[in-house]
């Protein structure tokens, strides 16, 4: 087992560099170290100027996505032992504007999320006194997987279509859209299908499927997008039969 | 400096801050809300909570039982009137979360399911698999997007409160991406910044959990209450401290020592039975379980590992199918981080710091001693956890008291007007100047070095068991670190995303909070809940210490430690017992009540 490993980071500091430059660091290696721990070592003891986001360390907060050897990954659950002998090459997530070093702008993602009405639009009103909506485990299963999106944006970095067209709603947000549409408590599908049906909705997807491959939480956004293509196509045809369009 | 004017400013956008923001928006949509977070809301540490949220749900359960479990679990240091309010509101808030779409796990007939949890007599913990905090946080975040009166300031770091002669005027923030300061002028402020677990070395907390809001309120004269009570969670990952939820044991997991023996039966938690019995063995409270680990280690019955001695969390008998369904995240964490398949081998675990029971002193309506300042969630001491929090009470706390804080802060804002702009602006400028000193000062100290020394010292002096001499050493060390902190020089001179600078400011917050903890601990000459001493104060001492510790900040000096009364309503301090002994004590209490 080596005692150290080289980590190369693509640096970009807008106040200093007009374009990104590679910088190399050597960090001590242990069998159980994550890439994040390697970066923390650099930040703490070598170079405090290195910029990256992180928090939970356990693949649930979604902060620490980055390109590791060209692949979108969470740095907290990518281990240096799997990248031997190195060097490990780290860049900011692809397809997003870089704010600094490994930090990309999250704003485009959040704006898209806000745009899909990501909340329950009740199918039937219910007061708190009436208690919870009944939802069987089978009904829960219809959307539970898609509710597991941690907003890490790895799927966007994997999506060639988003790379070409930043207006594309994209896999993660479409999975969340589907999460609400597929929820038995929700009646907002009609409003959301207007987003799905647009050029920037599902029809931008070219079914590459790399989004699902890189998803660290097995949300399978490609499947959500695909189901919405079916729904959108149905919507299209039913529109000729019903003046208001159809969504159920 | 730019000024942004709002009615209510909320610092922190985790579960508590988001719930409070929604409550303000629903109370009065004409009130403007500034929701400030140093991260995007969905990154907040609520996200990492796993096991569930408690609320009395089943027909054979009762509010009295939840009240009693909580008060006894807190070793009678709870504000009992506040606990009454808490248990009474819990279920409605859980239903509210359900209406907002939280994907609660369900029974076959479609009702929300409940699971067993440590120290809870009856199953009452609502759960969303083992990602309950994650689902609650995302549900609240996404739900908050429908309220136009909530203006988010994501990735804005709070450097100070603006308080003019006892009048709260707002907060000062730094926009992290640009380094620009902003004065957020507000009529009322809710602090919802979470805990401070990062003051300890081995902890379950995210890197952002640095006690910011506690330190800010403390520096402005609001006492920090009961800070000596820090919870060690008994089942964490060696080396990183990552959490294996209590639900592992709620679902039937065992804790084994090096001989494969369920050692908890030796610590008043037995008898050991093959299936979980509530409030016994592995379903005892966290303080007792972490203490039992310590004793096993002293006896040489733990298992040596590369990151310290461990015991085994054995889930094998639950089978892969149940583990995948009920504990999917635990399954993956164990497999991916440790290379241990929990269906085939036991998981090595040890205790790590998890939760700060104490916090910003708040009354039952979340108000502090500073008019217009409210606090909620882990940063707050509203009084429900006492000396030891029961698992699954904290997620419920976020939503029950998040709503209360929102309603109260809205009402305060409505009866108050902005004022003293010129003076407030001057104070905001002064806050900016102080923050910039940290960015520009010269010296020979490094943030990370001081942070590591602090975390090590807190573990050594204020760990699971404490003595006066170890606590005194920690107090001395912290005084030294605070002095050295003034000589920290950062590497980074830029404005955009200068996290080097923000980490140095956070170090100041951490050290203030750590000092409040260590001095509060040193002064409590008894053992209660999570505060356990080995130096002649091994027993609970109600005559002298059935009271809240109040740490008051002094600039440039150690805090002044004072005390305040504890509200007892229906439950006078009794024997805190679990397992068979606990059941006997319950029977006795019942007979007494009927006599």
User: In sequence order, what DSSP letters do the residues of A2-69 get, joined into one string?
Assistant: -SEEEEEEEE--TTT-SS-EEEEEEEE--TT-BHHHHHHHIIIII-TT-------SSSSS---EEEET
Report if residue B560 sits inside a domain.
no
B113's CB contacts (< 8 A; 6+ apart) are: B104, B105, B106, B107, B126, B127
Q: What mean pLDDT is reported for chain B?
A: 97
Give the position of tokens 């016994």: B280
Q: What mean pLDDT is reported for chain A?
A: 93
Mutate to test the interface with A, among B35, B134, B340, B450 (most CBs of A within 10 A): B134
- Decide if B479 contacts B450 (C-beta within 8 A): no
Q: What is the CATH number of the domain that holds B323?
A: 3.90.700.10
Domain edge (last residue) among B338, B354, B370: B354
Q: Is B295 a catalytic residue?
A: no
Going along chain A from its start, the domains and CATH numbers come out as: 4-104 (3.10.20.30), 107-238 (1.10.1060.10)
Mutate to test the interface with A, among B18, B44, B98, B101 (most CBs of A within 10 A): B101
Q: Is the pLDDT of residue B498 over 70?
A: yes
Report if residue B340 sits inside a domain.
yes
Q: What is the pLDDT of residue B262?
A: 98
Report if residue B433 sits inside a domain.
yes
Q: Is any Cβ of chain A less than 8 angstroms from the Cβ of B448?
A: yes
Which sign, positive or negative, has the C-alpha torsion B301, B305, B307, B310?
negative
- Decide if B387 contacts B530 (C-beta within 8 A): yes
Express each pLDDT in A16-36 by its tens digit. 999 999 999 999 999 999 999
Q: Is B169 a catalytic residue?
A: no
Minimum CA–CA partner of B504 in chain A: A48
Report if residue B288 sits inside a domain.
yes
Minimum CA–CA partner of B155 in chain A: A106
Minimum CA–CA partner of B145 in chain A: A114
Q: Is the pLDDT of residue B592 over 80?
A: no
Among the listed residues B45, B169, B198, B233, the single catalytic one is B233
Q: Is the pLDDT of residue A243 over 60?
A: no
Q: What is the pLDDT of residue B201?
A: 96
Measured between CB atoms, which of B43, B100, B104 is closest to A61?
A: B43
The b-or-e profile of B391-424 (16+ CB within 10 A means b, else e) is bbbbbbbbbbbbbbbbbbbbbbbbebeeeeeeeb
Q: Is the pLDDT of residue B454 over 80?
A: yes
**Do A106 and B497 lie within an 8 Å CB cutoff?**
no
**Do A183 and B101 lie within an 8 Å CB cutoff?**
yes
What pTM does this model have? 0.97
Residues B338, B451, single domain; the answer is no
Mutate to test the interface with B, among A16, A49, A145, A176 (most CBs of B within 10 A): A49
Partners of residue B254 on adjacent β-strands: B314
Instruction: Count Cα atoms within 13 angstroms, Cβ side, for A134.
Output: 4
Q: Is any Cβ of chain A less than 8 angstroms from the Cβ of B89?
A: no
Eight-class DSSP state of B187: S
B267's CB contacts (< 8 A; 6+ apart) are: B288, B291, B292, B295
Express each pLDDT in B233-242 by its tens digit. 999 999 999 9
Mutate to test the interface with B, among A131, A136, A153, A184 (most CBs of B within 10 A): A131
Q: What is the pLDDT of residue A205?
A: 87
Return the C-alpha torsion angle B297, B76, B47, B13, nearest 10.
-140
Length of chain B: 595
Q: Is any Cβ of chain A less than 8 angstroms from the Cβ of B572?
A: no
Length of chain A: 248
Express each pLDDT in B248-299 by its tens digit. 999 999 999 999 999 999 999 999 999 989 999 999 999 999 999 999 999 9
Q: Is any Cβ of chain B less than 8 angstroms from the Cβ of A100?
A: yes
Q: Is the pLDDT of residue A242 over 70?
A: no
Domain edge (last residue) among B331, B354, B377: B354
Q: What is the pLDDT of residue A240?
A: 66
Residues B240, B344, single domain; the answer is yes
Q: What is the pLDDT of residue A239?
A: 66
Peptide bond into A85 cis (omega under 30): yes
Domain edge (last residue) among B539, B562, B589: B539
Cβ neighbours of B333 in A, within 8 Å: 58-59
Minimum CA–CA partner of B448 in chain A: A44
Report if residue B562 sits inside a domain.
no
pLDDT band at B595 (very low <50, low <70, confident <90, very high): low
Report if residue B272 sits inside a domain.
yes
Distance CA B230, CA B198 (A): 12
CA B584 to chain centre: 32
- What's the complex ipTM? 0.97
Angle between helices B468-485 and B499-523 (to 10 degrees): 150
Structure tokens, B503: 């980490």
Eight-class DSSP state of B118: T
Going from the C-alpha of B53 to that of each of B91, B109, B209, B242, B397, the distances in angstroms are: 10, 21, 20, 20, 9
Q: Kind of pairing, strands B180-185 and B167-175?
A: antiparallel
Structural domain boundaries enclosing B237: 232-354
Report B:505-544 residues touching A (Cβ under 8 A).
none
Residues B347, B431, single domain; the answer is no
Measured between CB atoms, which of A32, A49, A134 is closest to B110?
A: A134
Report A:41-80 residues touching B (Cβ under 8 A).
43-45, 47-49, 51, 53-63, 77
- Identify which of A11, A100, A128 has the alpha carbon closest to the alpha carbon of residue B501: A100
Residues B239, B350, single domain; the answer is yes
Q: What is the rounded average pLDDT of the residues B426-447?
A: 98
**Do A106 and B40 lie within an 8 Å CB cutoff?**
yes
**Do B112 and A132 lie within an 8 Å CB cutoff?**
yes
Distance CA B473, CA B458 (A): 10
Q: What is the CATH number of the domain that holds B467?
A: 1.20.58.100
Residues B349, B430, single domain; the answer is no
Distance CA B509, CA B216 (A): 8
Number of domains within chain B: 2
**Do A15 and B495 lie within an 8 Å CB cutoff?**
yes
Distance CA B510, CA B512 (A): 6
**Do A131 and B495 lie within an 8 Å CB cutoff?**
no
B349, containing H or E segment? strand B347-356
CA B373 to chain centre: 19
Report if residue B162 sits inside a domain.
no
Task: Tell me the percentage of chain B whose pLDDT exceeds 90.
Answer: 98
Report if residue B523 sits inside a domain.
yes
Backbone angles phi, psi at B112, to 5 degrees: -65, 135
Q: Is the pLDDT of residue A244 over 90?
A: no
Distance CA B183, CA B117 (A): 44
Q: In what order do the strands lie in the sheet with B557-565?
A: B380-381, B359-361, B224-225, B547-554, B557-565
DSSP secondary structure, B166-184, as one string: TEEEEEEEEETTTTEEEEE
Q: Is the pLDDT of residue B388 over 90?
A: yes
**Do B448 and A106 lie within an 8 Å CB cutoff?**
no
**Do B108 and A137 lie within an 8 Å CB cutoff?**
yes
Task: Report the gap between the CA of A100 and the closest CA in chain B (Å).
Answer: 7
Q: Is the pLDDT of residue A248 over 60?
A: no
**Do B496 and A43 lie within an 8 Å CB cutoff?**
no
Residue B556, Cβ density class (10 Å: 0-12 exposed, 13-18 middle, ≥19 buried): exposed
Cβ neighbours of B146 in A, within 8 Å: 117, 119
């Amino acid at each position: 087992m080596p005692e150290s490993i080289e980590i190369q980071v693509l640096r970009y500091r807008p106040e200093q560099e007009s374009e990104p430059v590679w910088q190399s660091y050597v960090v001590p290696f242990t069998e159980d170290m994550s890439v994040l721990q390697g970066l923390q070592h650099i930040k703490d003891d070598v170079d405090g100027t290195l910029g990256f986001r992180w928090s939970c360390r356990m693949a649930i907060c979604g902060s620490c996505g980055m390109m590791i050897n060209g692949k979108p990954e969470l740095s907290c659950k990518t281990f240096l032992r799997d990248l031997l002998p190195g060097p490990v090459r780290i860049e900011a997530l692809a397809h997003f504007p870089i704010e600094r070093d490994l930090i990309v702008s999250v704003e485009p993602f959040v704006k898209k999320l806000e745009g899909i009405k990501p909340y329950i639009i009740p199918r039937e009103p219910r007061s708190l006194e009436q208690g919870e909506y009944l939802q069987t485990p089978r009904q829960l299963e219809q959307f539970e997987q898609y509710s597991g999106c941690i907003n890490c944006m790895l799927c966007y970095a994997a999506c060639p279509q988003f790379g070409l067209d930043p207006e594309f709603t994209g896999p993660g947000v479409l999975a969340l859209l589907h999460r609400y549409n597929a929820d038995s408590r929700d009646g907002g599908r009609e409003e959301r299908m207007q987003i799905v049906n647009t050029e920037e909705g599902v029809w931008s997807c070219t079914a590459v499927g790399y989004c699902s491959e890189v998803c660290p939480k097995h949300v399978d956004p490609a499947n959500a997008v695909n189901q919405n293509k079916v729904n959108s196509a149905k919507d299209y045809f039913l529109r000729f039969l019903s003046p208001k369009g159809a969504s159920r | 400096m730019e000024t942004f004017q709002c009615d209510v400013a909320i610092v922190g956008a985790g579960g508590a801050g988001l719930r409070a923001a929604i409550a303000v928006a629903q109370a009065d949509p004409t009130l403007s809300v500034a929701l400030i977070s140093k991260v995007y809301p969905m990154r907040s540490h609520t996200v990492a909570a796993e096991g569930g949220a408690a609320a009395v749900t089943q027909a054979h359960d009762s509010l009295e039982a939840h009240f009693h479990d909580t008060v006894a679990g807190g070793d009678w240091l709870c504000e009992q009137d506040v606990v009454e309010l808490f248990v009474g509101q819990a279920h409605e808030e859980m239903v509210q979360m359900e209406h907002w779409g939280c994907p609660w796990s369900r029974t076959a007939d479609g009702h929300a399911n409940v699971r067993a949890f440590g120290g809870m007599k009856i199953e009452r913990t609502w759960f969303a698999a083992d990602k309950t905090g994650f689902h609650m946080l995302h549900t609240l975040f996404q739900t908050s997007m429908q309220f136009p009166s909530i203006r988010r300031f994501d990735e804005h770091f709070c450097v100070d409160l603006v308080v003019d002669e006892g009048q709260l005027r707002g907060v000062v923030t730094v926009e992290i991406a640009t380094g620009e300061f902003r004065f957020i002028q507000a009529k009322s402020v809710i602090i919802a910044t979470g805990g401070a677990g990062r003051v300890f070395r081995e902890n379950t907390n995210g890197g952002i959990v640095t006690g910011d809001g506690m330190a800010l309120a403390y520096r402005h004269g609001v006492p920090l209450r009961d800070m000596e009570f820090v919870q060690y969670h008994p089942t964490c990952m060696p080396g990183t401290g990552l959490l294996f939820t209590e639900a592992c044991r709620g679902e039937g997991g065992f804790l084994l020592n090096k001989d494969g023996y369920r050692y908890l039966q030796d610590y008043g938690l037995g008898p050991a039975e093959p299936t979980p019995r509530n409030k016994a063995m592995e379903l005892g409270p966290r303080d007792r379980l972490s203490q039992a680990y310590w004793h096993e280690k002293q006896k040489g019955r733990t298992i040596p590992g590369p990151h310290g001695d461990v015991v085994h969390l054995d889930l094998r008998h639950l089978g892969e199918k149940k583990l995948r369904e009920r504990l999917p995240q635990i399954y993956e964490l164990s497999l991916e981080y440790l290379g241990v398949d929990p269906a085939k081998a036991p998981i090595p675990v040890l205790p790590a710091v998890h939760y700060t029971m104490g916090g910003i002193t708040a009354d039952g309506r979340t108000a502090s001693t500073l008019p217009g300042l409210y606090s909620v969630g882990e940063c707050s001491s509203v009084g429900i956890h006492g000396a030891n929090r029961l698992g699954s009470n904290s997620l419920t706390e976020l939503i029950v008291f998040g709503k209360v804080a929102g309603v109260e802060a809205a009402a305060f804002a409505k009866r108050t007007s902005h004022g003293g702009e010129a003076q407030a602006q001057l104070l905001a400028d002064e806050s900016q100047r102080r923050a910039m000193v940290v960015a520009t000062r010269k010296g020979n100290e490094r943030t990370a070095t001081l942070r590591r020394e602090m975390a090590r010292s807190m573990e050594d002096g204020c760990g699971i068991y404490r003595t006066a001499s170890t606590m005194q050493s920690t107090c001395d060390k912290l005084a030294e670190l605070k002095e050295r902190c003034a000589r920290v020089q950062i590497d980074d001179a830029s404005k955009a995303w200068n996290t080097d600078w923000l980490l140095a400011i956070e170090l100041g917050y951490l050290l203030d909070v750590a000092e409040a903890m260590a001095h509060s601990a040193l002064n409590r000459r008894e053992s209660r809940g999570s505060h356990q001493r080995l130096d002649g104060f091994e027993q609970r001492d109600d005559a002298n210490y059935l009271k809240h510790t109040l740490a008051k900040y002094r600039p440039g000096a150690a805090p002044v430690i004072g005390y305040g009364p504890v509200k007892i309503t229906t439950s006078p301090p009794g024997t805190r017992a679990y397992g068979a002994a606990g059941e006997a004590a319950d029977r006795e209490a019942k007979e007494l009540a009927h006599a």
